Amino acid sequence: MRRDAPAKINIFLKITGTRGGYHELRSRFVRVDSLHDTLSLEKKRTPGGGFELVCDTPLPEKNTLSTAYALLKEEAPGIEALFKEYALHLKKRIPAGAGLGGGSSDAAAFLHLCNEVCSLDIPTERLALIGQKIGADVPFFVYGYESANVEGIGEVIVPYEERAPNVRLHTPPIHCDTAAVYKAFRSSFFDKMDPDAAKEWLDVPSGELMESLEPKEANDLYPAALLRYPQLEEYAESGMFLSGSGSTLFEKI
């Protein structure tokens, strides 16, 4: 019983407004299947107890998977029986603080895994609503689209039919804290926010966008990430795009 949790990149990302304590965006998300974490359910040596997460990388006590379990338990209390017998094992390959959505993808994969194993029959749309409470990127991974235009605070997801471009990822040894990058955007670039930004890009294939856009033009968080983590500039070769709030850079191949 296992499921892969793929990474994602943002071909473009524009901040279009705020809603409460959240930033609204307009972005093209593209799934990257070549890089993925793997979740599996494995029998406990000693049955009993509650939810147990075993990971090959240290995780904070409160993480996207523990949050997903707590929310799913409210939706389907019966899953508690599953985790008396099985522990959740996570093999991490997607680096944290890289703008690749690893934690969000893990949560989405967990929701689907439990839905299938426990025959919960929760519709995908409902899983996406649960995912939205975990993080803004989770619904995209729940739907499993190869490519999609994402707006609002991540809840408006429209699949985009295309053959996604082949890309090469470069993740420098820099952990970019998402909250810190958004804070830098607020303090230094907030006045440049445009509610209509990138509307004309929604119908353009990702490969064409990568050929026509300047990387720092494509992602509003790129300048903010450089402001907060100036060492990122050492790795940002010409033509490399930044995914999300960083630190992963990518290029078309």
pLDDT of the residue at 12: 98
Q: Which of 127, 158, 189 is the last residue of a domain?
A: 158
> Could you tell me which residues are beta bridge partners of residue 35?
none
pTM of the model: 0.97
Residues 83 and 181 in one domain: no
| Residue of 14, 37, 106, 137 marked active site | 137
Residues 130 and 10 in one domain: yes
Question: Both tokens of residue 250?
Answer: 């990518």
Question: Both tokens of residue 123?
Answer: 């519709």
Examine the pLDDT at 21 and tell me if it is beyond 90.
Answer: no
Percentage of the residues of the chain whose pLDDT score is greater than 90 = 95
Residues 16 and 130 in one domain: yes
Half-sphere exposure of 157 (CA within 13 A, CB side): 23
Q: Which of 141, 158, 175 is the last residue of a domain?
A: 158
Give catalytic status of residue 4 as yes or no: no
Residues 128 and 237 in one domain: no
Residues 46 and 141 in one domain: yes
Domain of 186, CATH number, reads 3.30.70.890
| Residue of 8, 14, 37, 106 marked active site | 8
Question: Both tokens of residue 39?
Answer: 């979740």
pLDDT of the residue at 34: 96
- Number of structural domains (the chain) is 2
Residues 9 and 121 in one domain: yes
Beta pairing class for 167-170 and 249-252 = antiparallel
**Where residue 172 falls among pLDDT bands split at 50, 70, 90?**
very high
Q: Which of 137, 158, 179 is the last residue of a domain?
A: 158
Give catalytic status of residue 220 as yes or no: no
Q: Which residue has 């930033």 as its token pair?
A: 23
- Domain, as residue range, for 21: 2-158
Residues 211 and 192 in one domain: yes
Per-residue pLDDT tens for 65-105? 999 999 999 999 989 999 999 999 999 999 999 999 999 99
**What is the rounded average pLDDT of the residues 117-129?**
97
**Would you give the end-to-end CA distance of the chain in angstroms?**
34
Mean pLDDT for the chain? 97
Question: Both tokens of residue 70?
Answer: 């707590």
**What is the rounded average pLDDT of the residues 224-247?**
96
Residues 29 and 145 in one domain: yes
Residues 94 and 16 in one domain: yes
Domain of 122, CATH number, reads 3.30.230.10
Residues 111 and 232 in one domain: no
Residues 193 and 68 in one domain: no
Residues 111 and 192 in one domain: no
